[in-house]
Amino acid sequence: MEKIDGRIILIVLGFIFIMFGKYIMIRYKNLIKKGIKTRSRVIENQLGVKSKRMIVIEYRVNEELFRKRVVLNRYLFNLDKVVEINIFYDRRKPKKICFENDIRHSINSKWLFFFGGLGLILGVLSFFQYK
């Protein structure tokens, strides 16, 4: 009975990982599809520890100025000489943004898909191994 419980937990965790990866990807694609594209100005650009880069961007929504601090991987974004970048923001929540060519969400969801699929496969295969 203990082996069946562990296998079922592994399968459920696999489904949870896959659903969470799907949620991240859908949320990002909806923000690009339904969001409003605008130009933002990089007002602060600092290299952080390891491979991180901290930037502060500034953008306008209906004449209201917003500032947002974002921590990025400096290898995914080459922002050494960039002064302005394109972003998408949500109409209802203008502080919710994403960058135009942002691949972070895609990478995160692919990792979740991978580990979720691996959990599903191992969970299902373990039923055939033990008789």
> What is the value of pTM for the model shown?
0.72
Buried b (16+ CB within 10 A) or exposed e, 19-57: eebeebbeebeebeeebeeeebeeeebeeeeeeebebeb
Q: Is the pLDDT of residue 23 over 90?
A: yes
Q: What is the pLDDT of residues 25-47, one digit of tens each?
A: 998 888 889 999 999 988 888 77
Q: What is the pLDDT of residues 57-71, one digit of tens each?
A: 999 998 899 999 888
Q: Where are the domains of the chain?
A: 2-129
d(C-alpha 14, C-alpha 2), whole Å: 19
Q: What is the mean pLDDT of residues 110-118?
A: 93
